[in-house]
Chains A and B, each alone.
Chain A
Amino acid sequence: MSEVFAVGIGQTEVGEHWDRSLRQLGAAAARAALADAGTDRVDALYVGNMLAGDLSGQHHLGPLIAEHAGLLGIEAVAVEAACGSGGAAFRTAFLAVASGHVEAALVVGVEKMTDRPGKEVTQGLVTAADADFESQIGLSFVAINALLMRRYLLEHRVSRDDFAPFIVNAHANAVHNPMAMYRFAVSAAEFSRQAMVADPISVLDSSPVCDGAAAVLLCSRDRARGLGRNAARVRACTVGTDTIALHDRRDPLELAAAVRSSRRAYELAGIQPRDIDLFEAHDAFSIMTALSLEAAGFAERGRGVAFGASGAIAIDGDLPLSTMGGLKARGHPVGATGVYQIAEVLLQLRGEAGQNQVKNATLGMAQNIGGSGATVVTTVLEAVR
């Protein structure tokens, strides 16, 4: 298996892009990543997307994005794993380059959610869950997360206010990220008095509906030579899965797919959780942040929330979290999110994270979750200096 290097990053601002289409967003991120790497040579394109079929009446995004990014004719396919689509597309590109069959693979995550009214987006998002036995009884995706959070509060004896540090931290970091949707700070007091979306989940526990695209160019060692500023090496990219429905899990409060994928990633990279310098968690809802910290081995079971309150998650803490705002405040264009997370880890490893720069960042990890935890993609990247 060949080593794989990340040599280019491209992002569009996350937000409500009424003036830009799905294809324009995807192509813009793709072009930005190629410009960043200083090359036009790409052998394959893998597109991560979840909702284009439901919300844009458009599937078949591989050739669509390739054509509009000036890459007409190359190998190009789309990959879908609900909110984990971006990470899954990255995994596909990683495999392609690692196999030696592809020298340079471009990953583009793209999502266009704001063209449609909220109820259609709600319906689109719930397709990540079990259509026969979750959404058919009236569960929404938010409600599935609320069921998890309510149970967590009881079993681990915490209050919903205890989740505030995750939200305060994400918003504080987004202030300095020019690509973030919510570039404003939020206080614990503001979090505490927010209206409920699905009790105990409030508006501020939830990541926003938005549009955006991000891209990363992966290369073999030979192709990476002379390309890109400060390339990083992909030390591991792994996928774990679990039951599609929350009710079919032995223990709904354990993200077994995250346990599986992070253990495998640590094993492949030959590292321990304590070796990780920063972590981009899938904080679509604050309960997911706590469960991810526990599943990835950063906190004991039931201690994820306490970990958040300990100060460890700050930029100068032991495990800086959501360093560019996370899903919560950068925004969560679902199928693009996994690629944004990896692009942000790469910014940190290249020392280009501006005021949010984590000092001496060498090993960074991103974890992208599909559905309520049925797909989890864990990626570990290392700075090459």
Chain B
Amino acid sequence: MEVPRHWRTQSARYALEGTVCQRCGETSFPPRDLCSRCGSGEVIAKRLSGRGEIYSYSTVFQGPNGFAEYAPYLVALVRLAEGPLVAAQLTDVDPDAVQIGMPVEMVTRRLREDGPKGIVVYGYKFRPPLVAG
């Protein structure tokens, strides 16, 4: 990943920071400069809870650039508690146990390494929630 792109998207990738529209209340993730519902530019950053459930999932056997060495890996669309869908990898889970509707939580994990001189890219993945006790 290019360093400026990494820098621009890091609050979304590290902190699951989206936006909330001050006019209509719509929550967006990824963050947007214009509300996707009402078109207002009055949006402010908001860190999302990271809780949600699996909307759909699959397994990637041949990934895009930078991901080939990690295949196969699980990917999902996660319906966040605040409403938006997010595309993310699943981690710390038995592939056979994954199902639609399963509760998950966000964790920060290494996504990829861009060779010996490139950056190590971290970002969100989702896992089944750790249960206290």
* Interface residues of A, Cβ cutoff 8 Å to B: 118-119, 122-123, 126, 132-140, 142-143, 146-148, 150-151, 154, 196-201, 243, 245-249, 252
Of A134, A137, A147, A154, which is within 8 A of B58 by CB?
A: A147
Top 5 nearest A-B pairs (CB, nearest first) are A146-B58, A151-B56, A247-B85, A147-B56, A138-B67
**CA–CA, A151 to B77, complex, Å?**
10
A-B contact pairs, 7 of them (CB 8 A): A137-B124, A138-B75, A140-B62, A140-B64, A142-B62, A143-B60, A154-B56
A207 to chain B, nearest CB (A): 15
Q: Which single residue of chain B is at the shortest CB-CB distance from A135?
A: B64
- The residue in chain B whose Cβ has the minimal distance to the Cβ of A155 is B100
Assembled-state Cα–Cα distance A118/B124 (Å): 27
Give chain B residues whose Cβ lies under 8 Å from the Cβ of A138: 60, 63-64, 67, 70, 73, 75, 89, 111-112
- Chain B residues with CB under 8 Å of A243's CB are 36
Asked if B107 lies at the interface with its beta carbon under 8 angstroms from chain A, I say no
In the bound complex, residues from chain A placing their C-beta under 8 Å from that of B56 are: 147-148, 150-151, 154, 252
Chain B residues within 8 Å of A, Cβ to Cβ = 1, 5, 9, 12, 30, 36, 55-65, 67-68, 70, 73, 75-77, 84-89, 100, 111-112, 121, 123-124
Smallest CB-CB separation from B32: which chain A residue?
Answer: A248
Min CB distance A178 to B, Å, is: 31
On whether the beta carbons of B64 and A147 are closer than 8 Å, the reply is no
- Counted as pairs of residues, one from A and one from B, with CB atoms less than 8 Å apart, the total is 106
Looking at the complex, which one of B12, B57, B87 makes contact with A245 (CB distance below 8 Å)? B87
For B79, the closest partner residue in chain A by CB is: A247
Q: When the two chains form their complex, are residues B76 and A147 in contact, meaning their CB atoms are under 8 A apart? A: yes
- Greatest chain A CB density within 10 A among B55, B56, B89, B111 is at B56
For chain B, what secondary structure do more than half of its interface residues adopt (helix, strand, loop), or is it mixed?
A: strand
Q: How far is the CA of A140 from the CA of B112 in the complex (A)?
A: 15
Contacts of A199 in B (CB 8 A): 58-59
Residues of A within 8 A of B63 (CB): 122, 138, 140
Q: Is the interface of A mostly helix, strand, loop or mixed?
A: helix
The answer to whether B9 touches A132, judged by C-beta atoms less than 8 angstroms apart, is yes
Bound: A249/B79 CA distance, A: 12
* Cα–Cα distance between A118 and B61 once the two chains are bound (Å): 12
On chain A, the residues within 8 Å of B5 by CB distance are: 132, 136
The CA-CA distance from A139 to B59 in the complex, in Å, is 9
Which residue of the partner chain, among A118, A122, A246, contacts B77 with CB atoms under 8 Å?
Answer: A246
Whether A150 and B58, one on each chain, are in contact in the complex, defined by CB atoms closer than 8 angstroms, is yes
Residue of A nearest to B121 (CB): A136
Find the A residue at minimum CB distance from B124.
Answer: A137
Q: B112 — which chain A residues lie within 8 A by C-beta? A: 138
Nearest Cβ in chain B — how far from A158, in angstroms?
A: 14
Measured between alpha carbons, how far is A122 from B75 in the docked complex, in Å?
Answer: 16
Given contacts A134-B87, A151-B56, contact A126 B64 (CB under 8 A): yes
Contact (A247, B87) CB under 8 Å given A146-B58, A147-B57? yes
User: Are B60 and A247 in contact (CB-based, < 8 A)?
Assistant: no
Measured CA separation A323–B104 after assembly (Å): 44
A sample of 18 more A-B contacts (CB under 8 A), given A137-B87, A246-B87, A247-B87, is A122-B64, A123-B64, A126-B64, A136-B111, A137-B88, A137-B111, A138-B60, A139-B64, A139-B75, A140-B62, A140-B63, A142-B60, A143-B60, A150-B56, A151-B56, A151-B100, A198-B60, A247-B86
Q: Contact at A137–B77, with CB atoms within 8 Å?
A: no
Known contacts A136-B1, A245-B87, A247-B87; A147 and B77 CB within 8 A of each other:
yes
Kindly provide the distance from the CB of B8 to the nearest chain A CB, expressed in whole angstroms. Answer: 8
B38 to chain A, nearest CB (A): 14
Residue of B nearest to A197 (CB): B61
Closest to B100 in A: A154
A248 with B85: in contact, given A147-B76, A151-B56, A199-B59 (CB under 8 Å)?
A: yes
Docked pose: A16 CA to B79 CA in angstroms: 41
Residue of B nearest to A118 (CB): B62
Contact residue among A122, A147, A150 (Cβ-Cβ distance under 8 Å from B62): A122
Chain B: CB-nearest residue to A147: B56
> CA A200 – CA B30 in complex, angstroms?
27
B13 to chain A, nearest CB (A): 8
Contacts of A137 in B (CB 8 A): 75, 87-89, 111, 123-124
Closest partner residue, chain B, to A200 (CB atom): B58
For B124, the chain A residues whose CB sits under 8 A away are: 137
B58 & A198 in contact (Cβ 8 Å cutoff): yes
Bound Cα distance from A227 to B70, whole angstroms: 57
B123's closest neighbor in chain A, by CB? A137
Which B residues are in CB contact (< 8 Å) with A246?
Answer: 77, 85, 87
Whether the pair A198, B64 counts as a contact (CB closer than 8 A) is: no
